[in-house]
Amino acid sequence: MKILTGTNEKIASLAILLLRLAVGIVFFAGGAAKMLGWFADFGPEKTVGFYQMMGFSKFWAYLSSYTELFGGLLLIFGLLTRLAAFALLINMVVAFIISLPAGFIAQNGASTPFEFMICVLAILVSGPMRFSIDWLVFRKRSAV
């Protein structure tokens, strides 16, 4: 019964690691496509044009895209995890609000930003846990 009702910190840490990796990889790939042209034929010029069509300035296009790129990397490594999760949460709240008029379950709808919003919220609340650079750095400091 304990396996059904108890919490194992190592398994919870592994679950958060898998969540961080999955979400981080997707954000990194999206940011890399937008800013570096990797993984897709996009690049910064098309990205800025797309954001401007939605009414955002060049500054916000770059800020959003670099948030995805670097925020994704930080999640993958578990470095400054809560800061990265917070920045990505703001990014996804804006994406959710922008895409909601198209519908929730629709092509280009709000369901995908909503899912990522909840994922980064879970990472923000839980923190990076055991399998992260943050845990290594801050655990050593508190143990001294």
Question: Three-state SS across 60-101?
Answer: HHHHHHHHHHHHHHHHHHCCCHHHHHHHHHHHHHHHHHHHHH
What pLDDT was estimated at residue 97?
Answer: 95
What pLDDT was estimated at residue 144?
Answer: 45
Is residue 129 within 8 Å of residue 16, measured between CB atoms?
Answer: yes
Predicted structure pTM score:
0.90
Q: Is residue 68 scored above 80 in pLDDT?
A: yes
What pLDDT was estimated at residue 56?
Answer: 95
